[in-house]
Structure 1
Amino acid sequence: MNNDNDDTFVTIVVPVIIEVERFQRVALRRTARAPRNTPPLHVTPKTLLTGLCHCGYCKSAMCITTGKSGRYRYLKCNKRISVSGSSCPSRNVPYERFEKAILMAITERVLTDKRIRAILADCRNHADKLSAQQETERHQVAEAKSQVERKLNSLYKLVEDEKVKIDSSLGVRIQAGRTN
């Protein structure tokens, strides 16, 4: 008979299978490698060209594979990985060599002095337009503020000359004018 309210325990001696220190080390490693703690690669790519490269033969996406327990990285046709190795004639491309070639091409063909000067001029023009727009907005705000101050001063003068009496609704409007 099992009584749920029974507070008696039976102690059973169990031999140690794993030392406590080893168990704790493994537990720390498991925690560090848990999927909830490590974001997926498509959220935080580790490579510059993730998702941009396609196979020159079959137009499938290229993905990174590793060799020698992760020591080497290669770009490989996704069709060769998912379908079969003979489905596409492309070869593995060492990733570091590919990335250097891409960066060199960008530096030589895209980031020329002429283009950098054009980009800088465009940035300056954009900054000048923003500055002019902000200046216009500052003038509009200053004009609106001075207009409210003129109206309040006129109202104060009418109250001082006892031509207008302040009631609750006028008091509310005066407060609103002060906060604007």
Structure 2
Amino acid sequence: MAALDTAAREARRPPPPPPPPPPAGDDGTGNGSSGGNGSSAAPPLPAPGWANRLPAVCQPWAGPITTAAKANGLDPRLFAALVWSESWCNPDAVSWAGALGLAQLMPSTAASLGVDPWVPEQNLDGGARYLSQQISRFGSVELGLAAYNAGPGAVTRYGGIPPFPETQNYVPTLLERYAHLAG
């Protein structure tokens, strides 16, 4: 039965996007500019310049992460740090608690957001939307991240970052990764 579940998931999940080659003359800023006279515009990069600071396994996901983050009013580097921390950019990740996919959405959260957690782009959109909701609800990135990890009820109950070791480590680790990506 597990083989059938895996086969069904594989049929629904598109393959990850290949990493884009850098355009000729790219200056590494992520905007496709060579600093030249501008006579021929390079195509825009699907992945921004900070993507080279991600682990190699995450770099192919920088474009879709950026799309989901911007659509939900988030800094793409913050959301990339979350996906890196949550799943190591593995679209097939399943946590001990049952969280699924790139952004590690709980099945009930994915359902409430109307996304299929096994479709990477939907998972990313759902994760970005949920993080944005938590940041808005609690008024800070730190508390929004804590709510993403431990649940909004725990943040409300404790009036801040809950005293759970996982969450106590999660928030600073994710913020360190965000700072690393921000360069």
**Higher relative contact order at CA 8 Å, sep ≥6: structure 1 or structure 2?**
2
Provide TM-score, normalisation by structure 1. Answer: 0.20
- The TM-score normalised by the length of structure 2 is 0.19
Higher strand share: 1
